[in-house]
Structure 1
Amino acid sequence: MRLLATYQTRIDDRESYPFLEACGEYFGRLERKLYVDYHIKGLQVKELKRKYIAEHGITARQFNSLLKDLTAKLASVRESLVFRKRDLLGRIGRLERFIEEKERERERLKKSLSRLTPRSEEWQKKVDRLKKVKFVLHQKKRRLRNLRHKLEAVRRDLESGRYPICFGGRELFKAQHDLEANGFRDHAEWLCAWREARSGNFLVLGSKDEACGNQTCTYTEDNTLRVRVPDRLRAGFGQWVLIKSVRFPYGQEHLDRAKRPVCVVRGRKVYRAVTYRFVWRSGIWYLFATVERDDPAPSTSRWNGAVGVDLNDGFLQVGEVDRSGNPVNEFKVPVAMRDRTRGQITAALGEAVKKVVLYAKEKGKPVVIEDLDFTGKKQGLRESGSRYARMLSGFAYRKFRVMVESCCSREGVELLRVDPFATSLIGQLKFMARYGLSPHGAAACVIARRGLGFGLERAPEVSAPGIPPRGRASRRGYWWQVCKSLKRGPGSGLRVDVLYADRF
């Protein structure tokens, strides 16, 4: 199984830095010019290709690199606009429903005030509550207006088909308006940083029919990177620039494999395409190499059972079942998510995922996760309680899913995704008391069972007050009724009564 993977290293050969800076400035200027010609003016690619090769002294492959980088940025901006439109529509919808609820509450308070004695204690409480509701309504309506204005701007950009790109970054561009607050002594210092940001990276596209996967940037057997110089820069750097001692701390074996041909077709050698990106960051040039990675075929089997993973606020809960779906083990892997930077969360989550996947590989069992999407729920964070909003905002489920997919593919572990319907409720009512599991461990076992193909568990006979009778409802329908009943229950007492219903 082959997947694209990107590996990073630092370029320690300082003698090559002047050339990389010149290339960054030159290709950055050409990319901005190509943005105007291709995206704004709408000129044809064939016409632009001939023009840029003749006028700017670049090869066809270097033009393809510029075009590939630009089209990827445009596609990213468009995808971001589409996501932002969908997100704004969700936020507006939730905010409108919240405003309707508050308006109904305001009317109820007004009616109740007319029936109370003025200046009484209860009357004063109602008046204070009414003032608070009016204030909240005013602020929420202001926010609704702002969201609608943002939605109109996003729709205009999508309808026009012309997507704005700020080469260098909007945040840095706006920093010139408040230099001192952004750490700049004067405008000249900001201008220097702005030019560095606009020329701080460039792409070198690879191809399978080129030596070592890339004719412009060739990674040789002695770990030397040979870069072809554009015609306009040959007067100062010659035809080729050699960057010596380039080694990747991770993925070196995949880059070494790309140096050798995969096969020979009609007398021509076929390699693995390698695409390089040079990035300037904090005074150092970094090299990113994207190449096909050979991943082993899955070595796990569902006949051994499955390992379910339940993502929670601050930890991963793992539940293991055998081939018959019986829980055999559970454990917790802590993951610090709150009050952490994005990089810290990514590192902690990556270590936890790796530990779980290696455990599943050792047991010879596939990994099972829920197919969740918190996008809709996160749209209403402002209208949610502080505790719930804090918990939900720290959830990085999309990042978690990508990490699990990558780690399972790399380790040869099968990954299964299942419907998340009522996993926590079913785990607590069916397996928690019977097997002595924790609430989250029971949910993880339910996830693992679904990965093995077991159907929805049969609901237990419950005589606790407030729980609807089973009747003729389907299993899914009855579990949904139980879930709603527990949410409306008087507290944890009703749930505790139900927990032991299936124990005997």
Structure 2
Amino acid sequence: MGGLREVAASFVVPGPSGVAVRARLKGLTGGDEKVLCLVGDLLGMLASRDLKVRCAAGLSHDSEQWAERKRGLTEVSSSRWAGAVTKATHDQWALARRGQLAHIQTLQAGIETITRRLSVPVGEKGTKRAPGGYRSSKEWFAKSRRLQVLEDRLQEVRAHREAGVVRVVRGGKRLLNTRHHLQTAQLTETEWRARWQAERRFLQADGESGKRYGNETIRVTPDGEVSLKLPAPLAHLANAPHGRYVLAARASFAHRGEQWADRVSANRAVAYRIHEDVGRGRWYLTASWTIPLVQSVPLETARTNGLVGVDTNADHLAAWRLDRHGNPVGEPLRFGYDLTGTASHRDAQVRRALIRLLHWARRHGLAIAVEDLDFTAETTREKHGRRKRFRKLISGMPTSRLRARLVSMAAELGIPVIAVDPAYTSRWGAQHWQKPLTGENRKTTRHDAAAVAIGRRALGHPIRRRTAPPPHDRSDRAGHRTVQAEPGSPGREGNRPRIPGPRTRSVPPGCGVKAVDQNAQHRSGRSAEHEAWQQDSLPLSI
């Protein structure tokens, strides 16, 4: 057991810190769409220029340069649009820096794996904790070349990070590369160009508390009227006082509409974003705001009534209910989802599976225990080698999406979510729980057993289970209990604790003190049977 890593403590996941809702802008006229395109294209061009200046400044950027950039944007737009553009630029640059650091960590992990495998003789088998050598000398040579490539990439990325150089594409790198594979993406050049322009538009503004309806740049009244402040070059398109343009469409938020209306009526900050879905030919308005962090339920309180252990898999959620003592109750549950098709279809499948799980947990008043999964370092080709199917399986598991969705949806229903360390849950669950929970009418899978292991860890119990006492036809007569573990495990043959209570004549006091001391019993192979024999002395006169 010395090679196992330390298991982190379980904790109650805090709720979300923000909310975002979306509404479709129905009834837009041709003039409204033209104005939105003109404003978005102009601000998108300014945002691209500002991002270029920010990336060129690198690590030497300071507040004076920020103020200078904002003054330059104010002259060609407005002070509020300039503030929104510069803030979005800073957020995008910071996101690129975090992605750069993650890329460095991935390269380091790949280099360490290749270096270790190259140092092992060719064909040597690996262990559970360390991979073996490469299968052939040809593969060994190819990996030695790849090691040089990864080292060169790591050196280059490190140099860029030290210099503050980042690579950012407004509109998305994936969509940009799609331009070279239009036939595979089933797009024409005109369709791709429309999507590219829509993604590069800038129509978003952060709110400000105390201002009218919580946002002066993009304003939405409680009755759904949407208006936006036009930049200076497009002020002649205004159809309302103070250089504003009012859209003909009305916004109505079906989800969290009452919360949004309360914030708008109280002039509290609400951020808005207007964007176009080119594939559907629709315009949408997204409203977002921050919410105060709710004090999470203490861990002991969440464990009171038991919980539901949930194991995340590529195509389903395996769940099993456990009482507060860690015993499985009822039958295992499975909530499936299909992750093929478009992104919206996959997201809908995940939400459907989660809402079924949450509604079932709420009916029984139970908390939910999940693994704190992070597969960012587990999908590399260097770690799993030729196991392409396994790499694809891990890459397809929506761990981050499930985690974000589960936390936000559970917070709305008031269901605590407990995160546990994922170390060894699948292995130990299958070892200690799969066979005992399998019967004639129930076939327990490894995923079901893993759900039990996750639930027991969240409850603070060890994953190993205690077996029933021996049957009555044995000589010890339902004596001490054993733990389902290897014979050499410490404490496996420990004395039974004394249980206070009334005694019967058949069970005198203290009879079970040496129940596990096999040497004190007259049994085969024990020292009590092989003691030295000595004849008592007898008088000769008898």
Q: State the TM-score bracket (shorter-chain normalisation).
A: 0.7 to 0.9
SS of corresponding position for 2:265 = coil
Write the distance in 2 (CA, Å) between the matches of 1:132 and 1:442. Answer: 34
Taking a change above 3 Å as real, the CA distance of residues 151 and 296 of structure 1, as seen in their structure-2 partners, is closer
- 1:120 aligns with none
- Give matches, 1:183-194, under 5 Å: 189=190, 193=194
- 1:133 aligns with 136
Write the distance in 1 (CA, Å) between the matches of 2:484 and 2:18. Answer: 55
- 1:399 aligns with 401
Write the distance in 2 (CA, Å) between the matches of 1:446 and 1:56. Answer: 61
Residue 274 (structure 1) aligned to one of 270, 277, 280: 270
CA contact (8 A) 2:205 2:273 kept: yes
- 1:95 aligns with 114
Write the distance in 1 (CA, Å) between the matches of 2:137 and 2:374. Answer: 34
Range with greater deviation from structure 2 (428-437 or 138-147): 428-437
1:74 aligns with 2:81: no
Range with greater deviation from structure 2 (300-309 or 406-415): 300-309
Taking a change above 3 Å as real, the CA distance of residues 199 and 447 of structure 1, as seen in their structure-2 partners, is closer
Write the distance in 1 (CA, Å) between the matches of 2:108 and 2:394. Answer: 20
Range with greater deviation from structure 2 (279-288 or 154-163): 279-288
- Give matches, 1:305-454, under 5 Å: 305-336=306-337, 342-379=343-380, 380=382, 382-436=384-438, 438=444, 439-454=446-461
Write the distance in 2 (CA, Å) between the matches of 1:181 and 1:429. Answer: 46
- 1:146 aligns with 149
- Give matches, 1:2-17, under 5 Å: 3-15=17-29, 16-17=32-33
Range with greater deviation from structure 2 (249-258 or 211-220): 249-258
CA contact (8 A) 2:22 2:285 kept: yes
CA contact (8 A) 1:5 1:290 kept: yes
Write the distance in 2 (CA, Å) between the matches of 1:274 and 1:250. Answer: 15
Write the distance in 2 (CA, Å) between the matches of 1:388 and 1:172. Answer: 27
Write the distance in 1 (CA, Å) between the matches of 2:421 and 2:135. Answer: 41
- 2:252 aligns with 247
- How far apart are 1:191 and its partner, in Å? 9.6
Write the distance in 1 (CA, Å) between the matches of 2:250 and 2:69. Answer: 37
- Structure 1 unmatched runs, 5+: 107-129, 262-270, 474-504
CA contact (8 A) 1:381 1:389 kept: no
Identity across matched positions, percent: 25
Write the distance in 1 (CA, Å) between the matches of 2:460 and 2:284. Answer: 46
- How far apart are 1:397 and its partner, in Å? 2.0
Range with greater deviation from structure 2 (132-141 or 344-353): 132-141
Q: Return the index of the structure with the highest Cα Rg.
A: 2
Residue 259 (structure 1) aligned to one of 227, 239, 264: 264
- 2:286 aligns with 288
Residue 33 (structure 1) aligned to one of 21, 41, 49: 49
Range with greater deviation from structure 2 (367-376 or 34-43): 34-43
- How far apart are 1:181 and its partner, in Å? 7.2
- 1:47 aligns with 68
CA contact (8 A) 2:54 2:89 kept: no
Q: Deviations over 1:89-119 (max 9, x none)?
A: 112222333333464659xxxxxxxxxxxxx
SS of corresponding position for 1:364 = coil
CA contact (8 A) 1:315 1:332 kept: no
Amino acid at match of 2:458: G
- 1:58 aligns with 78
SS of corresponding position for 1:95 = helix
- How far apart are 1:359 and its partner, in Å? 1.2
SS of corresponding position for 1:91 = helix
- 2:197 aligns with 196
Write the distance in 2 (CA, Å) between the matches of 1:232 and 1:50. Answer: 16
- How far apart are 1:318 and its partner, in Å? 0.8
Q: CA RMSD in A?
A: 3.5
- How far apart are 1:445 and its partner, in Å? 2.5
- 2:225 aligns with 224
- 2:517 aligns with none
- How far apart are 1:339 and its partner, in Å? 5.2
Write the distance in 2 (CA, Å) between the matches of 1:175 and 1:392. Answer: 25
Q: TM-score, structure 1 length as denominator?
A: 0.75
Write the distance in 2 (CA, Å) between the matches of 1:179 and 1:441. Answer: 43
CA contact (8 A) 2:43 2:201 kept: no
- How far apart are 1:432 and its partner, in Å? 4.2
SS of corresponding position for 1:378 = coil
- How far apart are 1:161 and its partner, in Å? 0.7
- 2:498 aligns with none
- How far apart are 1:345 and its partner, in Å? 3.4
Taking a change above 3 Å as real, the CA distance of residues 181 and 63 of structure 1, as seen in their structure-2 partners, is same
- How far apart are 1:27 and its partner, in Å? 0.9
SS of corresponding position for 2:419 = strand
CA contact (8 A) 2:465 2:483 kept: no
Write the distance in 1 (CA, Å) between the matches of 2:320 and 2:184. Answer: 50
SS of corresponding position for 1:158 = helix
CA contact (8 A) 1:254 1:293 kept: no
Write the distance in 1 (CA, Å) between the matches of 2:362 and 2:383. Answer: 38
Amino acid at match of 1:328: V
CA contact (8 A) 1:10 1:286 kept: yes
SS of corresponding position for 2:210 = coil
Q: TM-score, structure 2 length as denominator?
A: 0.71
Q: Deviations over 1:459-480 (max 9, x none)?
A: 775899xx5622479xxxxxxx
CA contact (8 A) 2:309 2:319 kept: yes
Amino acid at match of 1:242: V
CA contact (8 A) 2:335 2:357 kept: no
Q: Deviations over 1:132-154 (max 9, x none)?
A: 71332233234333333332332
Residue 83 (structure 1) aligned to one of 77, 91, 102: 102
- Structure 2 unmatched runs, 5+: 1-14, 126-132, 468-481, 493-542
SS of corresponding position for 2:397 = coil
Taking a change above 3 Å as real, the CA distance of residues 305 and 63 of structure 1, as seen in their structure-2 partners, is same
Query: Normalized per residue, which structure has more helix?
Result: 1
Write the distance in 1 (CA, Å) between the matches of 2:335 and 2:166. Answer: 42
- How far apart are 1:274 and its partner, in Å? 0.9
- How far apart are 1:402 and its partner, in Å? 1.7
SS of corresponding position for 2:203 = strand
Write the distance in 1 (CA, Å) between the matches of 2:328 and 2:37. Answer: 59
